[in-house]
Amino acid sequence: MKQAFLVFIGGGLGSVLRYLISKPLNPLLHNFFLGTFLVNIVGCVIIGLVLGLSVKGQFLSQNSTLFLATGFCGGFTTFSAFAYEKHYLIKNGDLLNFAIYMISSIVVGILAIVLGLWIARYLE
């Protein structure tokens, strides 16, 4: 039960932070949802860092990993919003922004996870 509570609290905190970042940033670029993009990339760095530190065993406990990776990052990142926004772009015929957003989200997201894992390797 304690672990479920940690995931619940982490998810709530991540969701609120996502809202506070996405709300002001999404309208800045026409049809590019900058806030969602940044939240997803930052979330990838964080989850890479957390899981990298978790593997080392001495930095993060299992409960800390649940709170941060499953809870916080699960609430903070926004795949459902990501999918809806891609649907919106296709529906409105904005295939160029769809392609740019889709490819950059995936490529930069993977690179962000690698960055988080790389940072975790050098923290001791």
48-65: per-residue pLDDT in tens?
Answer: 999 999 887 778 899 999
- pLDDT above 70 coverage of the chain, percent: 99
With 0.85 as the threshold, say if the pTM is over it: no
Torsion of CA 105, 110, 111, 116, to 10 degrees: 120
| Binding region | 74, 77
| Binding region for Na(+) | 74, 77
Given this model, what pLDDT does residue 124 score? 64
